[in-house]
């Protein structure tokens, strides 16, 4: 089977680009299952139910998230109702929603998706390595096909998670930085890894934000309300080929396309 993972979708420009390009990507890459990180999908920061439904309609099977998931209060109830939207599994007990779940492809393959968040240069949360270990142990009783979105700032922490779970999951791909890395590879244990999938967001920007706004914050160190930039938009991510029976990855390729007028 082929699993397609899209990097952080940034605001309306990202949503429109995904709506336009995802159906074509699914056809071209013969994608059986689509995961996308949506933590910045609502106006560039946070998640709302309408934006999630828009991405599901475009072809996403599961949406993962990260540190911005709580930006909009209405998302808490939606997380409880919508099993296809995940939040990081290593948030403290009692947080709404779930951090991992299993799903079925149209061909009948059971796919598990795990959403974890890092701690280096980020808010203090429960240990992602212990949380990942416990979840994967349980999920492997249901399926060998397991994908992990490791939402983290530090490249080393993302790589550490891939080696920590190597041989027990099909793929670990990072999100959060909005900058696509070119280090996609197969670990010896059969796990596909890539430090960061990148973003679905404006090209002429600073990680999806209008450049002048991001610059103002850097130069003045004053609070600035960020807004998504406009213009041509990247659609970035990765495609992982997975053996359904063993769960081992056999290939991983980067996806990077530009949508001129999303």
Could you give the CA distance from residue 60 to residue 49 in angstroms, rounded to a whole number?
14
Helices within 140-261 (DSSP H only):
155-164, 211-220
| Residues forming beta bridges with residue 36, ordered by sequence position | 6, 63
Nearest to 85 by CA among 42, 122, 48: 48
Catalytic residue among 68, 151, 164, 178: 68
Distance of CA 183 to the CA centre of its chain: 17
> Cβ atoms within 10 A of the Cβ of 262, count?
21
SS3 at position 238: strand
68 is catalytic: yes
Residues in the chain: 262
Phi, psi of 80 (to 5 degrees): -70, -30
Nearest to 241 by CA among 30, 25, 7, 93: 30
Nearest to 236 by CA among 198, 262, 184, 179: 198
Say what the alpha-carbon torsion angle 174, 94, 141, 60 is, to the nearest 10 degrees. -50
Could you give the CA distance from residue 129 to residue 111 in angstroms, rounded to a whole number?
21
Could you give the CA distance from residue 115 to residue 89 in angstroms, rounded to a whole number?
6
Which residue numbers are catalytic?
Answer: 68
């Amino acid at each position: 089977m082929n699993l397609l993972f899209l990097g952080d979708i940034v605001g309306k420009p990202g949503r429109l680009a995904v709506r336009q390009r995802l159906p074509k990507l699914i056809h071209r890459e013969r994608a059986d299952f689509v995961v996308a990180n949506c933590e910045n999908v609502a106006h560039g920061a946070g998640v709302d139910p309408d934006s999630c439904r828009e991405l599901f309609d475009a072809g996403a099977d599961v949406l993962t998230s990260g540190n911005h998931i709580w930006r909009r209060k209405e998302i808490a109830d939606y997380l409880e109702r919508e099993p296809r939207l995940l939040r990081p599994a290593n948030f403290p007990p009692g947080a709404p929603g779930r951090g991992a779940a299993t799903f079925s492809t149209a061909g009948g393959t059971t796919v598990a998706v795990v959403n974890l968040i890092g701690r280096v240069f980020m808010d203090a949360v429960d240990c992602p390595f212990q949380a990942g270990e416990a979840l994967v142990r349980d999920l492997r009783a249901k399926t060998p096909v397991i994908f992990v979105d490791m939402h983290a700032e530090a490249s080393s922490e993302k790589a550490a998670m891939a080696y920590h779970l190597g041989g027990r999951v099909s793929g670990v791909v990072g999100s959060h930085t909005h900058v696509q890395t070119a280090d996609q590879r197969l670990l010896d244990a059969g796990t596909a890894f890539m430090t960061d999938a990148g973003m679905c967001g404006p090209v002429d920007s600073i990680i999806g934000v209008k450049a002048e706004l991001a610059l103002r914050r850097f130069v003045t160190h004053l609070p600035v309300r960020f807004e998504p930039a406009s213009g041509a938009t990247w659609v970035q991510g990765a495609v992982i080929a997975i053996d359904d029976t063993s769960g081992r990855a056999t290939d991983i390729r980067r996806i990077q396309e530009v949508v001129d007028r999303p």
